[in-house]
Structure 1
Amino acid sequence: MASYLILTPPGAANRSEVSDRYRDGTRFIRDGFSWKAFLFPVLWMLFHRLWLHAAAAFLLQGVALELMRQPGLFAAGAAILLGVHVLAALEGPYALGQRLMDRGWKMENLVSAHDLATAEQIHFSHIEDEPQQDIHSKNWDISANNSNSSRSGPSFGLPGYDGGR
């Protein structure tokens, strides 16, 4: 089961106001291994606007390919190339989420689900179930409710409440 990081853009509608704008602006980022990032790390990073990560991956891939061409250094070059691909696949989604949070996006939730549709359903159903009104504490007057003055202590084994803390 995968976990999905749920981010909302800066200036999005409140969670209490479930609107189409809130639903459209919400991003779900799968926190886990990304096959697209593994197979095409530089293109995946460029697509997600991770410019510095893409430049570093491109340079490391170039160094790895050059090492693979040198006699006796094929294994070192292959290890660097495989490392770049694995690192992009494992840490790419985290870097994407971190970039969005650095730009002001707010992390709303973290949901565990089998797929994206289930994660969306869990997140949005949780929001719709929340109460829409504010619940204010009432001014409880204990002395008015306790008309029997002979019972001044706690009842049912519970400590008494005299209005203070």
Structure 2
Amino acid sequence: MATFLFLIPPGAKSGDEKARIIRDRFSWVAFVLPIFWLLWHRAWLAAALAFAVQALGAAISDHPVFGLAGLGICLATSLIVALEGPAMVVAGLEHRGWTVDAVISADDRATAEEIYYTETPAGEAQTRDSVSLPASETSARRHAPMLGLVGFKEGR
């Protein structure tokens, strides 16, 4: 099962067809080409930071003593972008006014879209076993994001 985040633009209602769907998973493309992946997803500041850190790692890797440390810096940067890249994209969209409308666990994107866009005639979403709804309304405690990860309103 994969987790899909549905973000709606500012001023849009839930279930809007302009919703952006982001799959929260490890990305091999982001691991191999982290800077290009970030540029493709318009995370300009993160791409500039990743470029600076990887350039520093490449400069250090030429040193005879610290060569492995430089390679470790480059590898760590790629790993962070591959694991947290979707969270960086979500954070950038939230900064621009988008809101996370739903967090859905499904086998594939088509199933997640079907769950998100299928509603009863009364306008209320149907109850499904494979839906992971945000739990922020059911919890009295508020938790902040941990370890630098982006919080999804306790929906994961």
Q: TM-score, normalised by structure 1?
A: 0.70
Structure 2 residue aligned with 1:2: 2
Alignment of 1:9-158 (within 5 A): 9-12=9-12, 14-15=13-14, 22-23=16-17, 25-125=18-118, 128-129=119-120, 131-132=122-123
Displacement of 1:69 in angstroms is 1.1
Offset from partner CA, 1:112-143 (integer Å, 9 cap, x none)? 01221111111112xx226149xxxxxxxxxx
RMSD: 1.6
Q: What SS does structure 1 have at the residue aligned with 2:5? A: strand
How many corresponding residue pairs? 124
Give structure 1 stretches of 5+ with no counterpart.
134-165
Alpha-carbon distance in structure 1 between the residues aligned to 2:121 and 2:73? 49
Give the share of equivalent positions with the same residue, in percent. 42
Considering only CA atoms, is the larger Rg found in Structure 1 or Structure 2?
1
Quick one: structure 1 residues 132 and 2, their matched pair in 2 at CA, closer, same or farther if it must change by over 3 Å? closer
Q: Which has the higher contact order (CA 8 A, sep 6+)?
A: 1
Moved over 3 A (4+): none
Give structure 2 stretches of 5+ with no counterpart.
125-156
Q: TM-score, normalised by structure 2?
A: 0.74
Displacement of 1:11 in angstroms is 2.4
Quick one: structure 1 residues 47 and 8, their matched pair in 2 at CA, closer, same or farther if it must change by over 3 Å? same
Higher helix share: 1
